[in-house]
Amino acid sequence: MYAVIKTGGKQYKVAAGEKIKVEQIAADVGQEVVIEEVLALGSGADLTIGTPLVSGAKVTATVIAQGRHDKVRIFKMRRRKHYQKHGGHRQHYTELQINAVNA
């Protein structure tokens, strides 16, 4: 069984036993979180699509780690103007271990 969940403004297709990295969630390492924004549930050829959410469905996950992604380099330049600007960004993430998908 798999589910399409929404967290952090993004959508993820998850199944039990998977590890995913999502936008940062305010939870401690080892804590169990419940995601109730389930957009779709599927099992083989059977698919249930919510309007907009599937009622009564939830996904339980355990927080494995909190961290930051690799640095994204930002470089701006205007040719012939002696203008160069360097910057960078590291996005925070939460790594989740999906425990169960409940309908």
- From the number of C-beta atoms within 10 Å of its C-beta (0-12, 13-18, 19+), residue 76 rates as exposed
* pLDDT tens sequence across 49-102: 999 999 999 999 999 999 999 999 999 999 999 999 999 999 999 999 999 999
Task: Residue 71: give the domain boundaries.
Answer: 2-102
Residue 44 pLDDT exceeds 90 = no
How many domains, in total, are found in the chain?
Answer: 1
Q: What is the pTM of this model?
A: 0.86
* pLDDT tens sequence across 7-21: 999 999 999 999 999
pLDDT of residue 103: 84
> Residue holding tokens 């957009």?
39
5-22: buried (b, 16+ CB within 10 Å) or exposed (e) per residue?
A: bebeeeebebebeeebeb
